[in-house]
Amino acid sequence: MNKQTKPVQPETNATTVQPAQANEDLLDYIARFTDLSADAQKKELVQVLQALGQNKTDISLRSKAAIMYAIPASKVKDNAKAQSLLDDLLKEKTLEAKQKGLLLLIRDFVSDNSKLTSKIKDEQKRSDVAQQKFDAAQQRADALQQKLDELKDIERTMIDRDQKKPK
The domain limits of the chain are: 19-118
Q: Kindly report the length of the chain.
A: 167
Whether 17 shows a pLDDT value over 50: the answer reads no
pLDDT band, residue 20 (cuts 50/70/90): very low
- Could you report the per-residue pLDDT of 110-162, keeping only the tens digit for each? 999 999 999 999 999 999 999 999 999 999 999 999 999 999 999 999 988 88
One-letter amino acid of 111: S
pLDDT at residue 98, as a whole number: 86
pTM, full prediction: 0.65
Q: What is the dihedral of CA 151, 153, 159, 164, to 10 degrees?
A: -150
Find how far residue 53's CA is from the centre of its chain: 26
Average pLDDT of the segment spanning 51-68: 92
